[in-house]
């Protein structure tokens, strides 16, 4: 892997981790289409750390306020503490399923056709949620049941091609959240799960591979940070005025295109 490839994959990871189009799918499909080797575990860890830094950098005030609320007793702190507890609850399904079935899901990463099919399913989720969404609830209206359901959607997104942000935002819309509230909760919920995914991969060691150097790891990490931050900022602004159908169309075009390419090839 050279520095240009590292930057491209870092940008792909940063953008697609937070846009509802599946980062895991793109990290399989992009190298496959371009004829590159799949990223090593070390490079994958660096990209995940990059997106984690991006979301923490964007929401650092929220994170600090939620953490501080557990030591405060005023009414505003109570609401923030409740959100923190709901985020913990929402993380549990993905943490459990990831720990139990990580290897099975990782085996899917080597099958671009299956990844493309899951990407098409992501598009279906986005369109279906937009069709039935009431969009009259906010983060403060979330219940424990809502958190469990959104957390379960995040757990399903362990499958490559099922977008984590797409699944969680869609579930939020199914539950009546506004697009902005669903996206904001999805991004906050991503912090522990992205960190957890990096930790799980660290169990296999932090070793180089595919000709990677310290330079490619660093450039991939930085590209993921910058593009991830930009993706969060863009999507939160976009969903205030627009629906998610354009992302569904993208998933169908890319997923369908890859399936056709594999069929012809």
In three-state form (DSSP H/G/I as H, E/B as E, the rest C), the secondary structure along 89-110 is HHHHHHHHHHHHHHHHHHHHHH
| Tens digits of residue pLDDT in 125-143 | 999 999 998 889 999 999 9
Confidence class of residue 211 from pLDDT cuts 50, 70 and 90? low
What is the distance between the alpha carbons of residues 163 and 102, in angstroms, rounded to a whole number?
16
Size (the chain), residues: 265
> Is the Cβ–Cβ distance between 190 and 163 less than 8 Å?
no
What is the distance between the alpha carbons of residues 11 and 9, in angstroms, rounded to a whole number?
5
Category of 174 on φ-ψ map: left (φ > 0), alpha (ψ -120 to 50) or beta:
alpha
What is the distance between the alpha carbons of residues 175 and 18, in angstroms, rounded to a whole number?
20
What is the token pair recorded at 91?
């993380």
pTM for the model stands at 0.91
> Is the Cβ–Cβ distance between 186 and 126 less than 8 Å?
no
**Predicted local distance difference test score (pLDDT) of residue 97:** 85
**Predicted local distance difference test score (pLDDT) of residue 110:** 62
Compute CA distances 10 → 1, 131, 155, 254, whole Å: 12, 33, 23, 19
In the chain, what percentage of residues exceed pLDDT 70? 92
Q: How far from each other are the two terminal CA atoms of the chain, in whole angstroms? A: 25
Confidence class of residue 187 from pLDDT cuts 50, 70 and 90? very high
Residue 108 in this model has a pLDDT that exceeds 70: no
**Predicted local distance difference test score (pLDDT) of residue 41:** 76
Tokens 């005030």 locate to 61
| Tens digits of residue pLDDT in 46-86 | 898 999 999 999 999 999 999 999 998 888 899 999 999 99
| Tens digits of residue pLDDT in 157-166 | 888 889 999 9
């Amino acid at each position: 892997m050279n520095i240009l490839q590292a930057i491209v994959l870092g940008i792909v990871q940063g953008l697609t981790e937070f846009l509802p189009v599946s980062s895991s799918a793109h990290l399989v499909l992009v190298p496959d289409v371009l004829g590159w080797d799949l990223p090593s575990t070390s490079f994958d860890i660096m990209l995940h750390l990059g997106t984690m830094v991006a979301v923490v950098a964007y929401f650092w005030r929220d994170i600090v306020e939620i953490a501080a609320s557990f030591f405060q007793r005023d009414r505003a702190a109570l609401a923030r503490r409740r959100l923190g507890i709901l985020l913990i609850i929402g993380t549990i399904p993905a943490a459990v399923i990831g720990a139990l079935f990580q290897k099975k899901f990782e085996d899917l990463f080597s099958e671009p056709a299956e990844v493309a099919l899951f990407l098409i399913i992501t598009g279906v989720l986005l369109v279906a949620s937009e069709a039935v969404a009431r969009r009259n609830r906010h983060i403060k209206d979330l219940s424990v049941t809502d958190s469990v359901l959104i957390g379960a959607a995040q757990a399903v997104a362990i499958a490559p091609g099922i977008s984590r942000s797409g699944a969680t935002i869609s579930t939020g819309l199914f539950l009546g959240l506004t697009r902005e509230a669903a996206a904001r909760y999805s991004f906050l919920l991503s912090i522990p799960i992205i960190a957890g995914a990096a930790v799980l991969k660290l169990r296999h060691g932090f070793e180089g591979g595919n000709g990677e150097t310290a330079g490619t790891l660093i450039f991939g990490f930085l590209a993921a940070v910058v593009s991830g931050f930009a993706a969060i900022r863009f999507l939160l602004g976009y969903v205030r005025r627009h629906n998610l159908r354009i992302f569904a169309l993208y998933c169908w075009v890319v997923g369908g295109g890859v399936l056709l390419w594999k069929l012809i090839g």
